Chain A
């Protein structure tokens, strides 16, 4: 092979890689390093240059009530969306994979929210939650529940947004379960059924364990998505009322582009990147462990 091409292999390899490498370094690696670097400085303002302040930005984090609030919100948002969307995804997949009439239509219906932009979803759902004229108000009126300002009340807003996120994401996770279910050998469950095992028993003892890798995969993806999903906040609440619905990435946006405190925004980004890296580490360790089993 080397005899045929005049350019040495190593050079050819690097040349092919070069365009991607330049862009990846410029817009992924360099920004990551810069984020870390800038988090040790003050924000340059006008003619005043950035000044090294060591860990002061990080100390400020610990006393920043909004930061602590958005972290808790992110955690609650994860708690409100992940189990529900993963559970529903599994239920949807089992139904769509079965023999129920109308399952093709159901699959379309479940998956459609995945191809809609979050901004469009937020526009529609905003109307559901509108006080007085919204759909939720009309639907709950017969039950004597009315006058609730769903998105204006700090105690309900995050859960309302979580419900919407579950609606948006469950269908996406469904397809992974669907793929996994199609890989479950049917003779396994058939054999158990002949032995007289109930459907629930079959599911619990055969299907569920076989779906475990998919469940882990979907759970990790759902966790990562919780940190990335903020588009709806721009439309529905702007993080309010009183930061009750704000999430970390939205707070980063506000800090950088509304308050123009870029150094502090970098510090917040370091926390976000740390959380994402942690999730990736869990994924990696899990995959390692699985490799040993084989």
Chain B
């Protein structure tokens, strides 16, 4: 009997917490799909409207921001896949002088990310003439310690015999990489890809430093300008704009929840 009461209480507590956690997003959804007059009047019969989305879309160049975010996120991911694969292969399967020191130096980036080096990296980008370009946003993240680390772990688990057999049959090193290692590493690529896309889709500090025009600004920076209190835009429209910006990632998460959670978990534990 006592156990049943505890269970009921626990269920209620869990639901309350879950509701609290879902609340802010649910509220943003409510605000975005209703008129300003229903903002704090949660009347279930209130008429739905898409006006806020239309206004948000007209107020800021969201289509352009989308394009910029896609370009930045996908360029970064493509670069990371190529560079991290090569480096991870080197660390996992080659002996060369300075390898261990080089690996330690790579790991430095796990702790100190380009996000903390904004002052110097801005000056470096400025010297390279890459301020306010997609390449400028992307480049500091392309050689990713985290990606190298994850892929190295994966490649190390591939039996050496597989590689030796392929080499004996006349395959080149690069063929071994593309035919043996990369296919076997697919789950790692998926996990790393999801984490990387989520990170860069949501990244803000470095993009706001390095961009200064509509043609390069990603969604997060555009959203910050759009939602700033001094812009004087009403909350339902800000909600609509916010939802426009987060929708792709949020929907992907809701659809592929298991993969997302597992990827973040793998990525975090390393």
Which residues of A approach B to under 8 Å, CB–CB? 1, 4-5, 9-14, 16-17, 19-24, 26-32, 34-35, 38, 88, 91-92, 95, 100-103, 105-128, 133, 135, 138, 167, 170-172, 175-176, 178-179, 217, 221, 224, 227-228, 230-231, 234-235, 249, 252-253, 256-257, 262, 265-266, 269, 272-273, 276-277, 279-280
Contacts and interface: CB of A to CB of B under 8 A. Distances in A.
B112 A100 contact: no
5 contacts: A95-B14, A109-B18, A120-B245, A273-B112, A277-B112
Given A5-B167, A5-B173, A17 B119 contact: no
A118 to B, nearest CB: 7
Contact of A31 (B84, B124, B164, B241): B124
Interface of A is mostly: helix
A158 B229 CA distance: 18
B102 A1 contact: no
Contact of A113 (B21, B118, B120, B254): B21
Interface string B114-127: 11111111111000
B227 interface: yes
Given A10-B95, A100-B10, A118-B204, A17 B86 contact: yes
A248 to B, nearest CB: 10
Interface in B163-191: 164, 167-168, 172-173
Interface in B115-169: 115-124, 139-140, 142-143, 145, 148, 164, 167-168
Contacts of B167: 1, 4-5
A13 B152 CA distance: 13
A256 B94 contact: no
B27 A124 contact: yes
A29 B249 contact: no
Contacts of B97: 10
Nearest to B80: A20
Interface of B: 7, 10-11, 13-15, 17-19, 21-22, 24-25, 27-28, 31, 39-40, 82-84, 86-87, 89-91, 94-97, 99, 102, 105-106, 108-109, 111-124, 139-140, 142-143, 145, 148, 164, 167-168, 172-173, 198, 201-205, 208-209, 219-220, 223-224, 227-229, 235, 238-239, 241-242, 245-246, 249-250, 253-254, 257, 260-261, 264-265, 268-269
Contact of A276 (B96, B116, B148, B235): B116
Contacts of B118: 252-253, 256
Contacts of A16: 86-87, 89-90, 94
A22 B102 CA distance: 12
A173 B201 CA distance: 20
B22 to A, nearest CB: 4
Given A13-B90, A13-B94, A24-B106, A120 B235 contact: no
B253 A30 contact: no
Contacts of A26: 124, 139
A4 B120 CA distance: 45
B242 A123 contact: yes
Nearest to A250: B205
